[in-house]
Amino acid sequence: MRMSTSSMAFQLGASSSRSFSSSSIPRWTQDVFLSFIGEDVHQNFISHLYHALHQRGINTYIDNNLERGVEISPELFKAIEGSMISIVVFSKNYSDSKWCLDELLKILECKEMVKQIVLPLFYDVDPSDVRHQKWSFGEAFARVEYKFKADKLKLTKGKAALEKVANLSGFELGDRDELEFIQDIIKWVDSKMVDRTPLNVAKCPVRIESRVRDIYEQLNMGRNDIICIVGIFGTGGIENGIKRLTDMCLITITIHNTLWMHDLLQDMGREIIRKESRNKSGGRSRLWFYEDARHVLEENVGTNNVEGIKVVLLEGDDHDVICLTPKSFAKMKRLKFFISRGARFSGRSLNYLSNELRVLDWSNCHLESLPSNFHGEKLIDFQP
């Protein structure tokens, strides 16, 4: 929580700035960083927004434990640097807080250096008032001007930062219902996260070497007098559709062997999956919503259509425990990946796991052992 106080240092993000490489690919430690002044919005709007983001599975950093009068720490600047998205909540007293202005300048630095996404929200304040420091917002900034009238450089930087962020495309509360306002924000964040969702190569690939050797032997790769064309197919078929997707700017393959997917591509994929079985989640090929996965596993209503399950929850999430039975996976003979991070399970044994599994990434797994009929011969990523 950012509290307006004269004892906070107006650092402007200079002293604790991390050096960035403009060509490097950032590794986000959280999805969203919230910048706000507590006295205006913390008790109601911010708590509701944070809860909505949290419920959506969006990892959000909110600073509400720092004591009044403590200068911004390097850890807080690192939290900003590690965020994919920064949401700046402009309210009437935002510019009266030197703490908030410090954050704002750090956010702008990250926007320029690591392409962080910035979303301004205008809560009971007009965007024009923020851009030009007018009316109540201007009065708040005038108090900062008085405190730092001897330091023109700091004032210039702060004023320019307010104008620059306020000129970005954002959302204005206006006369709307707050719930509708929050829903629009969640949809926007969802779309941006999908746009930057990385698909990483497994850290500990299993059995890859033997498969590569098999390909070499089948194609006589030791000979230099032939030209070979190889088509590799995975789940759903990779085809030659990767080059086309790259040409259409729907995916980007980075120098770090990471694939970035455009939000349109994932939205289209999810809609296709939903159409597979609109009313019965157990009939879909992939499950990614917590409630869908829980229903399928607890009620044992999975089918051979299910090829992948991914459940990712924030640490400390208050979702109910998923109650497994020995037969929870029995009907999913074609399951190829199961990823669970942060979800809690009960049940100590399973009678069956698909031998089609390629990825088994199961944190908080309390199984005493894997089923005796599970051989794992096709696993390429195993993280119990």
Angle at 91 between CA 85 and CA 93, to 5 degrees: 120
**Cα 282 to Cα 18, 335, 345, 347, distances in angstroms:** 47, 12, 19, 20
> Does residue 103 have an active-site annotation?
yes
Domain count, the chain: 2
Helix (H, G, I), strand (E, B) or coil at 282: helix
Whether residue 77 is found in the same domain as residue 129: yes
CATH number at residue 106: 3.40.50.10140
Q: Are strands 259-261 and 197-199 parallel, antiparallel or unpaired?
A: antiparallel
Whether residue 348 is found in the same domain as residue 282: yes
Q: Are strands 381-383 and 359-362 parallel, antiparallel or unpaired?
A: parallel
CB 58 within 8 Å of CB 111: no
Q: Please check whether residue 10 lies inside any domain of the structure.
A: no
**Cα 108 to Cα 30, 86, 146, distances in angstroms:** 17, 9, 24
Whether residue 346 is found in the same domain as residue 230: yes
Start-end of H helices in 117-222: 127-132, 135-147, 152-166, 178-195, 208-219
Whether residue 133 is found in the same domain as residue 237: no
| Options 75, 81, 103, 368, the catalytic residue | 103
How many other C-beta atoms lie within 10 A of the C-beta of residue 92?
A: 19
260: which strand partners? Answer: 198, 252
pLDDT at 59 exceeding the cut of 80: yes
Q: Please check whether residue 248 lies inside any domain of the structure.
A: yes
Q: Please check whether residue 299 lies inside any domain of the structure.
A: yes
Whether residue 230 is found in the same domain as residue 322: yes
Query: Looking up tokens 């910048």, which residue turns up?
Result: 35
The torsion region of residue 134 among left (phi > 0), alpha (psi -120 to 50) and beta comes to beta
CA distance 77 to 106: 7
Whether residue 38 is found in the same domain as residue 116: yes
Last residue of a domain, which of 138, 169, 195?
195
Last residue of a domain, which of 174, 195, 216?
195
CB 276 within 8 Å of CB 217: no
Whether residue 219 is found in the same domain as residue 186: no
Structure token pair of residue 363: 């944190």
Compute the average pLDDT of residues 286-301.
92
CA nearest to 63, candidates 87, 95, 84: 87
Q: What is the pTM of this model?
A: 0.51
CA distance 100 to 80: 12
Whether residue 283 is found in the same domain as residue 366: yes
pLDDT tens track for 156-196: 888 899 999 999 999 999 888 888 899 899 989 987 876 56
Q: Note the pLDDT of residue 206.
A: 57
CA distance 263 to 246: 14
| Side chain identity at residue 54, one-letter code | H
Q: Residue 104 — very low, low, confident or very high, per pLDDT cuts 50/70/90?
A: very high
Q: Please check whether residue 202 lies inside any domain of the structure.
A: no
Structure token pair of residue 174: 């206006």
- Domain assignment of residue 351, given as a range: 208-383
pLDDT at 348 exceeding the cut of 80: yes
pLDDT at 84 exceeding the cut of 80: yes
Pick 287 or 268 by higher pLDDT: 287
pLDDT tens track for 211-227: 666 665 665 555 554 55
CB 339 within 8 Å of CB 311: yes
